[in-house]
A = this chain, B = another copy of it.
Amino acid sequence: MWILAEDAFDPAQQHHKETIFTIGNGYLATRGAFEEGYPNDRRATFIHGVFDDAPIVVTELANAPDWLAMQVLLDGEKFSLATGTILAYRRELDMQNGILRREVRWRSPQGRVVTIRFTRFASLADEHLLALRCEIVPEFDGQIEVRAALNGQTDNEGLLHWRLIEQGQLTDGTVFLRTRTRKSGIEVACAMRLHGDTAQTMFWDVENVPTLQQVYPAYAGQPIVVMKFVGIATSRDGNQPLDIAHHHVQTAHNWESALAAQQQAWAREWERCHVEINGDDEADLAVRFSIFQLLIAAPRHDHRVNIGAKTLSGFGYRGHAFWDTEIFMLPLFIYTSPEIARNLLDYRYVTLPAARAKARAAGYEGAWYAWESADTGEEVTPTWVPDFHDKKKLARVWTGDLAIHISADVAYAVQQYWQATGDNAWYIERGAEIVLDTAKFFAARAEWLAERGCYGYTDVIGPDEYHDHVNNNAYTNLLAQWNIRTGLETLAWLEQHAPQKAAELRQQLDLTPERLQHWQTVAEKMCISLRPNGLIEQFDGFFALKDVNLADYEPRTKSMHEIFGIEGANEYQAIKQPDVLMLQFLLREQYSDSQIRVNYDYYTPRTDHTYGSSLGPPIQAIVACQMGDVAEAYEHFIRAARADLRDVRGNAGDGIHAASAGGVWQAVVFGFGGLRIHPDGTWEVHPRLPSYWRWLTYRFTLRGQTHTVTCYPDGSYTIG
């Protein structure tokens, strides 16, 4: 299933649909808003790394100049779906080729009928090139006017980030716009050219909206074709972004060749991450959609950026990256496109100085990554946000202060990348330093809890954000333990395989024998609260909290957080997402099936699967598969699969749930597909397919070898 389509336009769903019809090329992405506009649309293009300051929320990706803008007028009547009559409508995202198409047959208020076909793509073959084609077939004789603009007056939900530098028309007819973010001073340059049928063309040099206006004679049944190419570049790409933009738009004089390059680039992309679910079209579409959304958001040539929690597809979380990247999205890249995974991990390497500064400012050694990270890696989690109930009041956000597990999540991804790729060169050069410096942080941050006789972490937030200011969150403690131990192993490995680097890092990070002994002690004596049956307490005192039967609150349309309030949620055992289960999923090798079962049975009914975190369901699905509960696994899986496609949480308009998308791929491959990869690089497959799936095929790459697995509902599988 390559085509995501809609056959009718529903204004009530416009923001949701803008999100899911996003196109992109890893350099930028553009939401699926209409070329001609629609009242209250949230049209947006986000370019990686183009951040600008914003009040309260610190920094955000600035909504770039609008390259789509195109108006069509029929004898002076403006084409708009907000007026006239829609006679036919179809919008479809061709994921195979990264192309968005829309075809509308429309009757104007005064009765002129026209069919308009828009096609757009952001070139994956040339990341500085954007292409838009408009075919107009009038059913009347008269005049067709087309206005194509670059619009520099875009805003982020009312906040304006731009100041015009310069605009105009070059001697070759190219219209350009140069604009700069107000605070961060990043320039974006756009260069526009029109191709297609000849027409009288005027340049309307209106400030911030340079426009080319064309007038065509219209004859019934005779198509008019206008092609708009836009070159785009920023001052992050070079000192003369306009020259870059101009160069790229000059090379694109032919729709067919640009399109062919796009198709080839996408074919290569899909080849690497092939998945097919036969027998379940919805699931098949959903997994391809999830992969597509991550592919268009993944930076290929810029290691100073990361993928935000909402990719580049919406205003939610303002382009900030979370642990969502490392824990949820990265496995797709690690096992299908390792060079993208490496690029994303490089971002954590170049932001190490900011992570060290964050730790230092809090009084610790080592690297404490920002909970929310943008261009510099500094902490950009807002400290205050408007309250749920009274938007005039502010609620304190604690994750930036307390969610220390992020450092271990990053280290975990580094280790996973290394194990999957065997990329020793990168690991020696960059990865090892991340693992060692995060280990150093966790050893420094650990507190000796004398009354319990163990080391632990007080006043933290774990993955389950319904509970803040907790002590000894099992996930945090045990990932920290893993991180410290892995640090020690890393150093030992370096001694053997790269002794010079080992010496360098010992020196640079001051890894004295005493310090390493302390690491050892902390890891050995890490607090963990375990019942005799293997049940892990999520944090100190969790089992003493009021128990809750979430079924009592059904049907509901909001999270338990909203129902209980921020303070109230702390008093109950209701959790936002798997926390202990997440721990067991990541450190799979440490837990027996029966211990996982005990925790699964306890925590599953206490988890807010429906309106808690969108990060929960895919992980829940994987663990359910491992427990053999395929029907229940499917329920969680399909909830994740629908997060954006059906907007089941009502917030898809803010952008793609990127962690969920990554989780969907993981649920298919590691859950139903039963792939289990061991730290030593060996792997096994235990398929657990829903009975009505005819087969599941997936492809992955491990240590340079690509494997294609096809599994069947009876548990059998083939490897190609």
Contacts and interface: CB of A to CB of B under 8 A. Distances in A.
Interface of A: 37, 39-40, 55-56, 58, 69, 71, 147, 149, 151, 153, 155, 158-161, 163, 182, 204-209, 211, 383-384, 386, 392-394
Contacts of A58: 392
Contacts of A37: 207
A182 B158 contact: yes
Contacts of A153: 153, 208
A77 B619 CA distance: 62
B163 A155 contact: no
Contacts of A55: 55-56, 386
Nearest to A145: B205
Given A56-B56, A159-B160, A384 B392 contact: no
A207 B154 CA distance: 12
Contacts of A208: 153, 209
A405 B209 CA distance: 50
**What number of copies of this chain does the assembly contain?**
2
A403 B160 CA distance: 34
A444 to B, nearest CB: 25
Contact of A159 (B56, B158, B205): B158
A55 B149 CA distance: 31
Nearest to A151: B207
Contacts of A384: 384, 394
> Taking each of A147, A158, A182, A207, which has the highest tally of chain B beta carbons within 10 Å of its own beta carbon?
A158
Nearest to A183: B158
Contacts of A69: 207
Contacts of A158: 159-161, 182
A274 B383 CA distance: 54
Given A55-B55, A384-B384, A155 B149 contact: no
Contact of A160 (B160, B204, B392): B160
Which 5 A-B residue pairs are closest in the complex by CB-CB distance? A206-B206, A204-B204, A153-B153, A155-B160, A158-B160
A392 B58 CA distance: 7
A589 B26 CA distance: 76
> Taking each of A69, A153, A155, which has the highest tally of chain B beta carbons within 10 Å of its own beta carbon?
A153
A55 B385 CA distance: 10
Contacts of A159: 158-160
A596 B203 CA distance: 71
Contacts of A147: 205-206
A254 to B, nearest CB: 29
A369 B606 CA distance: 49
A39 B164 CA distance: 9
B149 A206 contact: yes
20 contacts: A40-B163, A55-B55, A55-B56, A55-B386, A58-B392, A71-B207, A147-B205, A151-B207, A158-B159, A158-B160, A159-B159, A160-B160, A204-B204, A204-B211, A207-B209, A208-B209, A383-B392, A383-B394, A384-B384, A394-B394
Contacts of A161: 158
Contacts of A40: 163
> Taking each of A206, A208, A209, A394, which has the highest tally of chain B beta carbons within 10 Å of its own beta carbon?
A206
Contacts of A160: 155, 158-160
Contacts of A151: 207
Contacts of A56: 55-56
